[in-house]
Amino acid sequence: MENSVLSVRHLTKAYGHRQVLHNVNFDCQRGHVVGLVGANGAGKTTIMKAVLNLVKFQGVVTINGQRVGFNHHRELTHVGSLVEAPGLYPYLTGRANLELFADATATQAQRIQEVSRALEIETVLDCDVKTYSVGLKQKLGIALALVNQPSLVILDEPMKGLDPQATKALRELIVKRQAAGTTFLISSHILDELQRIAEDLVVINQGRVICNTSMREVLAQNQHFLVIKTLQEDQAVSILRIAGYRVVARHPLRVKLRGKDVVAQILRTLTDHNIMIDDVRHEDGDLEQFFLHMLDQQEAQHA
Amino acid sequence: MLRLYRQEMFKLLRHRGTYFCLVLVILQNIGCAWLSDLYRQTTRTSDLWVANFASPWLITVIMIAATATTIASEVEFNTLKDLVTQAYSREQVLISKWLTMLTYSVVLYAVMLGTTFINKFMWPSNQFAVTASFPGTPSLIWQVWLASTAANFMTMWLLLSVVFLLAVKFKRGVTAASVGVVGYVILLGLSRMTTQAVDKWEFLKWNPLNLLNYPVQLITIWLPKVTHLTNNQMFIGNLGYILVFLGLGLYFFGKREV
């Protein structure tokens, strides 16, 4: 694709006799955040390692239109990454670690300052990395991936070990960089975080892409519910069922909203029968629900 | 490539151990010179001076540890990924490490030579003329000093080329350094023992252990009869093995998955 920063075609990888990736194909469009989702051992990290040429593979990986190979990957100049645990020199300070890999241009100090401020590690930047907590190391690893302002950033479980404040800071930084045109490929098990930032989604199961779609489509496909709080739950369930609505849970009372269902009519049906309603809220299916549904479907197919 | 070399030098210069080893070499050299002066009645000080007061042995141990660590610690710290995901090939990454270790070894040897030279003027027992003949050889003392230093440097690199080859397999810096240093001590013992085998089987004269005798041969005029190699053959043999071992290390490192 013309606007594709990363293109993966027929990616296959085996460790010895164990096939871990089977004909994986997907693209990352410029300025998009792509979520790579899969269960443990599905092959997410191996895909990232193949793209970064850390492992040998069969297939074609193209970055900014240039094909990259195991020992020929000049295009990786434009890629920042954090795969598995952050790689840091413990005897160096955080700043020295950043200086080591930051391009030695006139803006080096400014870039280091900017990324460390965004990730809130400025105050510890001059301490030796061996004194850092797990979360701080993770933040510094992310800072290393971003410090050269690459056009493609690959992050494997970036929220791992981060507190809610740091997670929020990272989310804001990703959104800011994305707005500036940076493409992100992010794997994460924290699906609600991924749902907030990813525009495209690649679902992997047992080394195969089982779904390649946009987040908007995922959420549109999901089910919507009306959750009603009342002290007369049993009565309300009977009334709604007689009226033809689909009640899927009793405690709390949850009604599945189908295309023809109108919320006002559901509520009127209840109030007409003197049901006292304490609270009403909408509940939408999320990425987690979609992901689990996809896996269930796969299992059912293989059963 | 220059960037990789700069990165390696940056790491080396930021490591406290780098400076500690430099100071250690100076102290060991001066300490041995002081001892030789103390026991001047029983030692020939010009021999010790020519041998740089045994500092090449210490430097070899330091360099084996540094070389083993420079690769193994990248695996230990998970930083090998950072290096190979830059725009350079694995071969270039390894060559930058060779060049860094070469720089460090040259600096250590320069410091050693400088300290040995200063010792010449510090101790009363070292007041011999460097332009005098070195006992048992046709060469002058200063010539033997520089030639044996160069030979020591070369045999050290023969060992380092093996360490570079083996270090690819280690995952912890401390383990790699320990195995390297212990292996060096064992090899030194074996190199003396192989001379008997060389007497029996001529082709064994080209084994790398026999080539470790090169520095001793330069100051021991009868040693070629034992090693069955001339000084020139020793030089060529050392150089050849260094290139072969470095080449093999390059080949295996170039195929390494991270």
> pLDDT digits over A177-229, tens only?
999 999 999 998 888 888 888 999 999 988 999 888 888 887 777 778 899 99
- State how far residue A66 is from chain B, nearest Cα, in angstroms: 13
B192: tokens are 């003396």
Residue B14 with chain A: CB contacts under 8 Å: 91-92, 96
Nearest to A266 by CA among A295, A298, A301, A227: A227
Nearest to A226 by CA among A193, A254, A259, A191: A254
Residue A86 with chain B: CB contacts under 8 Å: 78
Test A99 with B254 for CB contact under 8 angstroms. no
- State how far residue A72 is from chain B, nearest Cα, in angstroms: 6
Mean pLDDT of A170-177: 93
Q: Per-residue confidence at A99, pLDDT binned at 50, 70, 90?
A: very high
Residue from the list A49, A87, A96 with its beta carbon closest to the beta carbon of B82:
A87
Q: Per-residue confidence at A289, pLDDT binned at 50, 70, 90?
A: confident
Q: Can you give the pLDDT at residue A218?
A: 76
**E strand or H helix at B9:** helix B2-14
Q: Does B185 touch chain A (CB under 8 A)?
A: no
Residue A91 with chain B: CB contacts under 8 Å: 14-16
Whether the CA torsion A83, A84, A85, A89 is positive or negative: it is negative
Give the type of residue at B78. N
Q: Can you give the pLDDT at residue B173?
A: 64
| Greater pLDDT, A269 or A298 | A269
pLDDT at A142 > cutoff 90: yes
Q: Are B62 and B108 in contact (CB under 8 A)?
A: yes
Q: Per-residue confidence at A1, pLDDT binned at 50, 70, 90?
A: low
Test A54 with B11 for CB contact under 8 angstroms. no
For residues A27-37, one letter each, b for 16 or more C-beta atoms within 10 angstroms of the residue's C-beta and e for the rest, the string is bbbbbbbbbbb
User: How far is Cα B253 from Cα B247, in angstroms, rounded to an integer?
Assistant: 10
Residue from the list B7, B11, B85 with its beta carbon closest to the beta carbon of A76:
B85
Q: Does B253 touch chain A (CB under 8 A)?
A: no
Q: Can you give the pLDDT at residue A25?
A: 95
CB pairs under 8 A between A and B: 65
Residue A85 with chain B: CB contacts under 8 Å: 78
Q: What percent of chain B has pLDDT over 90?
A: 46
Test A71 with B90 for CB contact under 8 angstroms. yes
A-proximal residues of B, 50-79, CB under 8 Å: 77-79
pLDDT tens column, B181-199? 787 778 777 777 777 788 8
Domain range for B226 is 2-254
Residue A96 with chain B: CB contacts under 8 Å: 10, 14
- ipTM for the complex shown: 0.82
pLDDT tens column, B49-87? 899 999 999 999 999 999 988 988 898 899 999 998 888
Q: Are B168 and B249 in contact (CB under 8 A)?
A: yes
- State how far residue B17 is from chain A, nearest Cα, in angstroms: 10
Q: What's the mean pLDDT when you consider all of chain B?
A: 88
Mean pLDDT of B222-231: 86
Longest dimension (CA), chain B: 61
Residue B258 with chain A: CB contacts under 8 Å: 49, 54-55
- Least reliable range by pLDDT among B82-86, B98-102, B119-123: B119-123
Q: Can you give the pLDDT at residue A260?
A: 81
Tokens 């093995």 sit on residue: B241
Test A71 with B254 for CB contact under 8 angstroms. yes
- 3-state SS track over chain A: CCCEEEEEEEEEEEECCEEEEEEEEEEEECCCEEEEEECCCCCHHHHHHHHCCCCCCEEEEEECCEEEECCECHHHHHEEEECCCCCCCCCCEHHHHHHHHCCCCCCHHHHHHHHHHHCCCHHHCCCEHHHCCHHHHHHHHHHHHHCCCCCEEEEECCCCCCCHHHHHHHHHHHHHHHHCCCEEEEECCCHHHHHHHCCEEEEEECCEEEEEEEHHHHHHHCCEEEEEECCCHHHHHHHHHHCCCEEEECCCEEEEECCCCCHHHHHHHHHHCCCCCCEEEEEECCHHHHHHHHHHHHHHHHC
Nearest to A1 by CA among A51, A47, A50, A62: A62
Residue B79 with chain A: CB contacts under 8 Å: 87-89
Mean pLDDT of A44-66: 93
Q: Are A88 and A139 in contact (CB under 8 A)?
A: no
Q: Does B14 touch chain A (CB under 8 A)?
A: yes
Test B7 with A100 for CB contact under 8 angstroms. yes
User: How far is Cα B2 from Cα A8, in angstroms, rounded to an integer?
Assistant: 31
Question: In chain A, which residue's Cα lies nearest the Cα of B91?
Answer: A71
Output the CA–CA distances (angstroms, integers) from residue B150 to A95, B99, B118, in the order listed: 40, 18, 19
Q: Per-residue confidence at A2, pLDDT binned at 50, 70, 90?
A: low
Neighbours of A211 (CB within 10 A): 17
Q: Can you give the pLDDT at residue B197?
A: 81
Question: In chain B, which residue's Cα lies nearest the Cα of A83?
Answer: B81
Test B258 with A49 for CB contact under 8 angstroms. yes
In chain A the domains, ranked by start, together with CATH numbers, are: 4-213 (3.40.50.300), 223-284 (3.30.70)
Residue from the list A87, A99, A100 with its beta carbon closest to the beta carbon of B81:
A87
Question: In chain A, which residue's Cα lies nearest the Cα of B258?
Answer: A54
Residue B69 with chain A: CB contacts under 8 Å: none
Neighbours of A65 (CB within 10 A): 10
- Based on the structure, what is the number of domains in chain B? 1
Give the type of residue at A196. R
Nearest to A191 by CA among A226, A157, A221: A157
Question: In chain A, which residue's Cα lies nearest the Cα of B13?
Answer: A92
Test A54 with B258 for CB contact under 8 angstroms. yes
Q: Can you give the pLDDT at residue A236?
A: 92
DSSP state of B124: G
